[in-house]
């Protein structure tokens, strides 16, 4: 027995001899492991997991460990809600194997914590600690992998600290109902269950997801199909019985995230936060031709902060700027007329690099605030310059490992899940970041290439089921090789036909036929062009724009380039910008309005 243990025994004996009765209270408050089945010896008992199971190998101790595999938009989280005491310190620890494995706690009442390892080839211990808030009686402990990574393992998880009062199993949720239904999604909502810390959604009797709020969007469904749904409530004590069943039938055809856009839409950027030679255009003065209005731009407080801010152009720069109240009222009027108004993030000067998970989370919260404050319909990602760049060794667009890419994907998925199927998500990459990927991807297998080449491809690919529109900027571009293995240059129909054909046909990335970027749906694609010669390099005359649409939607006026299909459902056109089009007597929008799609 060491000296410290001997002193403890003597002190206990002294207290007992003197009749002091605090011994029981001290024992109850003593630090101990509060996790249930932290070694997974009882399978997944006590844990709520997606794409995870208890396995016999590899294990660190005992006979079992957790093995979980991220798949698609799920990063294989395994979580447990634990009863704790307020104003108390806890230490969370666990052993993991794999790439990008996380361990953390939420609902602490102070600062939620997490720790992670980029690569643990053997068992590696992760440890973090936190202090609970003044009214905190439970926390959620979790471990998970990351999007597009291989399976990870976890074992011997512990949460050491004083135990809390045992929780009671909540009652089954009430009021479950189905809301908006698309061909691949169903929105669900229900009433809160007292004492619940999470809710599980069951589709046709099988658990498909777990959420902490009282609503969820179930995705990945088949068109024209009936589904049944139930919900349960859980906390540290266990899971409630299932709710009553509601049924919903998905609509026919189409995909997710398209909202209520017209079959053929015109997208334009509105210079709302700055002035240039095109002049300021008030929101109320935006012509009815524009179906999607992108507010340019939301920009970060610093390149890596993830903290996005948006404000109207100052009066000193834009003397005719409207009041904030008038601006918001005009947005509502546009929406009442069926238009979509989005916040566009980035632009030429707004470099955004989500290098950390903290920046990722700040991005989500700050963008959400803008969307909520202005009552917007969604988000446009216009990352340019050095916002996206692939790390050396990141060579597979289907399984990205570069933090700025992985964190952006996660942030966009979080925003989509938060706002549901009506959320409009668009992207406006440059050709360098998309079509150039046919030849080059990142720094290449041996290094030396521009690491930005094709860097948007993993983002587009991961979000393809959530993406409303991709409108690549077919301007300010160098010559790009098309699927005919010929270089195509800006300014004429040939360039736009070749670039769009690549998106609608798909292509092997960096020439590797085992890594094929699959085609997008035509309703997800619009063509990006400058509205006038003042707006950017690569101006295309109205006659050449018409040739482009004829070739892609009717296979007429195609010139020398042979497309790999005909796409009458092509969504439409995007332009930089509404202001420059107005400056140029609305040449661009008038040509679009006059085009005969039939």
**Is the peptide bond prior to 297 cis by the omega test (within 30 degrees of 0)?**
yes
Return d(Cα 368, Cα 446) in angstroms, integer. 40
Work out the angle between the directed axes of helices 587-594 and 542-554 (0-180°, nearest 10): 30
Return d(Cα 177, Cα 246) in angstroms, integer. 6
| Three-class SS of 216-252 | EEECCCCCCCEEEEEEEEEECCEECCCCCCEEEECCC
Tokens of residue 88, six digits: 């108390």
Return d(Cα 209, Cα 199) in angstroms, integer. 8
Return d(Cα 391, Cα 168) in angstroms, integer. 48
Q: Are 457 and 410 in contact (CB under 8 A)?
A: no
Residue from 343, 345, 317 nearest 331 by CA: 343
Work out the angle between the directed axes of helices 542-554 and 493-505 (0-180°, nearest 10): 30
- The residue written with tokens 């360098």 in the block is 432
Q: What's the chain's length in residues?
A: 598
Rg of the Cα atoms in the chain: 27
Catalytic member of 239, 299, 322, 384: 384
* CB neighbour list of residue 45: distance below 8 Å, 6 or more residues apart: 36, 37
Number of neighbours of residue 193 by Cβ within 10 angstroms: 22
Return d(Cα 151, Cα 61) in angstroms, integer. 19
Return d(Cα 3, Cα 587) in angstroms, integer. 89
Return d(Cα 505, Cα 497) in angstroms, integer. 12
DSSP code at position 127: E
DSSP character string of 523-580: GGBEEEEESSTTT-TT---HHHHHHHHHHHHHS-S-TTPPPS---TT--EEEEE-HHH
Return d(Cα 199, Cα 180) in angstroms, integer. 20
φ/ψ (deg, to 5) at 408: -65, -45
- Reply yes or no on whether 322 is catalytic: no
Q: Which residues are marked as active site?
A: 384
């Amino acid at each position: 027995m060491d000296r410290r243990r001997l002193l403890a025994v003597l002190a206990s004996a002294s207290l007992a001899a003197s009749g002091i009765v605090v011994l029981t209270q001290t024992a109850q408050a003593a630090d101990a492991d509060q996790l249930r089945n932290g070694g997974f010896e009882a399978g997944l008992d006590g844990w709520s997991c997606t794409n995870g199971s208890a396995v016999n190998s590899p294990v660190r101790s005992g006979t079992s460990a957790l093995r979980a595999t991220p798949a698609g938009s799920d990063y294989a989280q395994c979580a447990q809600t634990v009863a704790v005491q307020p104003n108390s310190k806890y230490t969370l620890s666990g052993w993991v194997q794999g790439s990008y494995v996380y361990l953390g706690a939420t609902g602490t009442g102070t600062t939620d914590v997490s720790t992670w390892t980029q690569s643990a080839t053997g068992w590696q211990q992760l440890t973090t600690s936190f202090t609970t808030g003044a009214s905190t009686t439970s926390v959620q402990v979790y471990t998970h992998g990351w999007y597009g990574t291989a399976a990870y393992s976890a074992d011997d998880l512990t949460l050491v600290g004083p135990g809390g009062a045992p929780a009671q199993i909540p009652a089954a949720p009430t009021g479950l109902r189905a809301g908006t239904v698309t061909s691949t999604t169903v929105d669900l909502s229900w009433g809160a269950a007292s004492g619940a810390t999470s809710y599980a959604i069951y589709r046709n009797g099988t658990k498909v997801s777990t959420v902490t709020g009282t609503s969820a969007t179930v995705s990945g469904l088949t068109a024209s199909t009936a589904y049944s749904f139930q919900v349960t409530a859980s906390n540290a004590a266990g899971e409630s019985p299932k709710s009553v069943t509601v049924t919903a039938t998905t609509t026919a055809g189409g995909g997710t995230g398209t909202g209520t856009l017209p079959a053929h839409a015109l997208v334009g950027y509105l210079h709302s936060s700055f002035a240039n030679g095109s002049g300021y255009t008030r929101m109320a003065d935006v012509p009815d031709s524009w179906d999607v209005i992108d507010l340019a731009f939301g920009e970060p407080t610093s390149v890596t902060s993830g903290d996005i801010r948006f404000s109207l152009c100052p009066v000193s720069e834009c003397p005719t700027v409207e009041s904030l109240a008038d601006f918001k009222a005009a947005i509502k009027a546009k929406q009442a007329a069926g238009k979509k108004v989005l916040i566009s993030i980035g632009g030429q000067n707004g470099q955004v690099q989500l290098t950390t998970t903290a920046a990722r989370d700040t991005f989500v919260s700050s963008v959400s605030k803008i969307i909520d404050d202005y009552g917007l319909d969604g988000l446009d990602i216009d990352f340019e310059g050095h916002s996206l760049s692939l790390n050396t060794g990141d060579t597979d667009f289907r399984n990205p490992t570069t933090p700025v890419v992985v964190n952006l994907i996660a942030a966009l998925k979080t925003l989509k899940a938060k706002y549901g199927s009506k959320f409009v998500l668009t992207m406006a990459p440059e050709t360098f970041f998309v079509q150039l990927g046919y030849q080059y991807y990142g720094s290449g297998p041996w290094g030396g290439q521009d690491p930005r080449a094709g860097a948007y491809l993993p983002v587009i690919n991961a979000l393809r089921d959530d993406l409303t529109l991709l409108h690549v900027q077919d301007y300010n571009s160098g010559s790009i090789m098309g699927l005919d293995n010929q270089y195509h240059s800006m300014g004429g129909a040939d360039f736009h036909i070749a670039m769009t054909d690549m998106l609608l046909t798909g292509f092997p990335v960096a020439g590797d036929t085992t890594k094929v970027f699959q085609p997008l749906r035509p309703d997800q694609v619009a063509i990006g062009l400058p509205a006038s010669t003042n707006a950017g390099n690569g101006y295309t005359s109205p006659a050449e724009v018409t040739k482009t649409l004829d070739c892609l939607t009717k296979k007429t006026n195609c010139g020398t380039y042979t497309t790999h299909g005909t796409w009458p459902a092509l969504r439409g056109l995007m332009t930089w910008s509404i202001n420059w089009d107005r400056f140029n007597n609305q040449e661009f929008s008038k040509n679009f309005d006059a085009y005969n799609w039939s």
